[in-house]
Amino acid sequence: MVIGFGKWAVKEGSKKLFKTKLKLPFKPSNEVKKGWKELRIGAINRKIKRYKGPKSYIAPEYAQEATDIYSSTAKTKKEYKAKAKGKK
């Protein structure tokens, strides 16, 4: 018998506990596919979070990019990059 908790499962009936990762055979249907804007903002937030120095050094650059992304009317990242390149 396997008892699951979180993302791990423990096999019961043994002196040792064996940990095995549980994998879902399908994607849950309640997940909504994220657009390129949400993915890019998530990446910016991860970069700021993982930055080892003071956040005040790196955050202003990414804050401007996030503002540009939110105000963009581009449907894809490729369109956004083309418009941003044209502005410079």
**Residue 11 lies inside a defined structural domain of this protein:** no
Provide the pLDDT for residue 31. Answer: 66
pLDDT attached to residue 78: 92
Q: What pLDDT sits at residue 37?
A: 92
pTM of the predicted protein model: 0.58
Q: Check whether 62 has a pLDDT greater than 60.
A: yes
Q: Which structural domain range is residue 47 located in?
A: 32-71
The number of domains in the chain is: 1
Residue 60 maps to a domain? yes
Q: What interhelical angle do 36-50 and 77-87 show, nearest 10?
A: 70
> What does the pLDDT look like over 9-60, one tens digit per residue?
555 555 555 555 556 666 666 667 788 999 999 999 998 888 888 888 888 8
Nearest partner of 4 among 25, 26, 17, judged by Cα: 17
